[in-house]
Structure 1
Amino acid sequence: MKYMLLIHHGHSADDTSVWDALSEEEQQAVYADYYAINQTPGVTPGEGLDAAETATTVRVENGKPLVTDGPFVDIKEAIGGFLFFEADDLDAAIALAARIPAARLGGAVEVRPTKQW
Structure 2
Amino acid sequence: MTDMRYTLLLHYPEPTDEQLSAEDRAEGQRAFSAYAEALHAAGVLIGAEVLQRSDNTTTLTAVDGTLRVQDGPFADTKEQLGGTFVIDVPDLDAAIEWGRQAPAIHWGAVEIRPGATHTVDGAWTPNQ
TM-score range, shorter chain: 0.7 to 0.9
Check the 8 A contact 1:34/1:101 in 2, yes or no: no
Cα distance, 1:13–1:28 mapped onto 2, change above 3 Å: closer
Cα distance, 1:86–1:18 mapped onto 2, change above 3 Å: farther
1:33 is matched with 35
Name the aligned partner's letter for residue 114 of structure 1. G
CA distance in 2, matches of 1:64, 1:99: 42
CA distance in 2, matches of 1:52, 1:78: 7
1:55 is matched with 57
Matched, 1:95 2:97: yes
Is the partner of 2:48 in helix, strand or coil?
Answer: strand
2:113 is matched with 112
Unpaired segments of 5 or more residues in structure 1? none
Greater Cα shift, 34-43 or 85-94? 34-43
**Structure with greater proportional strand content:** 2
Paired positions, count = 113
1:85 is matched with 87
CA distance in 1, matches of 2:38, 2:80: 23
Q: Provide the TM-score with structure 2 as the length reference.
A: 0.70
CA distance in 2, matches of 1:96, 1:19: 27
Pick from 4, 8, 11 the counterpart of residue 7 of structure 2.
4
Greater Cα shift, 84-93 or 68-77? 68-77
Runs of 4 or more, structure 1, over 6 Å off, are none
Q: CA deviation at 1:56?
A: 0.5
Unpaired segments of 5 or more residues in structure 2? 118-125
Q: Provide the TM-score with structure 1 as the length reference.
A: 0.76
Cα distance, 1:60–1:42 mapped onto 2, change above 3 Å: same
Cα distance, 1:48–1:60 mapped onto 2, change above 3 Å: same
